[in-house]
Amino acid sequence: MIGNLALLDVYARVARIIRDLAQKQGEPVDGGLLIKERPTQQEIAGLIGTSRETVSRALNDFTRRGLLEMQGKKILVRWGFLQKVEDAA
């Protein structure tokens, strides 16, 4: 149970990093904001104090849920993702 709470906290931190990048660097496209130069998973992990593997799990989960779309070095951040992060803040 406590492990799940810690993981949720990490997911929220990953989500906030992606949201901030989308708001600062994202280009509006059909369906969301496109980040053209995404940071590596290791860079995100360093910013939020977790492992690269945990960041990978979070990004994969967001992708499976249709909130993000990875396109090589780009990330399409869906409008629904941005709304969910705002609602959770």
- The residues spanned by each domain of the chain are 2-88
Read off the pTM. 0.84
pLDDT at 2: 44
pLDDT for the residue 5: 46
Query: What letter would DSSP give residue 67?
Result: S
**Whether the Cβ atoms of residue 68 and residue 85 lie closer than 8 Å to each other:** no
- DSSP H or E stretch at residue 71: strand 68-71
Mean pLDDT for 35-62 is 95
Architecture of domain 2-88: Orthogonal Bundle (1.10)
Q: Which amino acid is at 32?
A: G
